[in-house]
Structure 1
Amino acid sequence: MRSDTDLVDKVFNDLRWDLGVDNDAIAVSAEASTVPLHGIVGSLREMRAAKKSL
């Protein structure tokens, strides 16, 4: 099992390399291996792309 810090790093890096997501608009956190994303996206497509990073 990955630590929360490892999970945040992985999701953040996945978002950073996904050209369909404005990663500056999305905050990534983790608690007890749950990774919620917070922020505002410009479209449903962008929201789906961000969710795929989880």
Structure 2
Amino acid sequence: MRRDTDLVDNVCNELFWDLEVDNNAIAVSAEARTVTLRGIVGGLREMRPGEES
């Protein structure tokens, strides 16, 4: 079972390497193994990779 901090780290790493997403515009949090992404993206094209990570 992964800790919430591990989940946040993993999602942040995935967003960092995804060139279609501005990872600085997205805040990542986790609670009870549920990850939440918050922020503003330029459009649907940037939202989809974040949802799939």
| TM-score, structure 2 as length reference | 0.96
Task: Report the counterpart of residue 11 of structure 2 in structure 1.
Answer: 11
The structure carrying a bigger strand percent of its residues is 2
Q: Distance in 1 between matches of 2:26 and 2:3?
A: 20
CA RMSD of aligned residues (A): 0.5
Alignment length (residue pairs):
53
How far apart, CA to CA, are the structure 2 residues paired with 1:36 and 1:14? 14
- Report the CA distance between 1:12 and its aligned residue: 0.3
1:12-51 equivalent positions in 2, closer than 5 A: 12-51=12-51
Report the residue type matching 2:24 in the other structure.
D
In structure 2, how many angstroms separate the alpha carbons of the residues matched to 1:27 and 1:2? 19
Task: Give the corresponding residue for 2:52.
Answer: 52
Runs of 4+ that moved beyond 3 A: none
Unmatched 5+ stretches in structure 2:
none
Q: Which ranges of structure 1 fall in alignment gaps of 5 or more residues?
A: none
Once residues 6 and 49 of structure 2 are traced to their aligned partners in structure 1, the CA distance between those partners, rounded to angstroms, is: 20
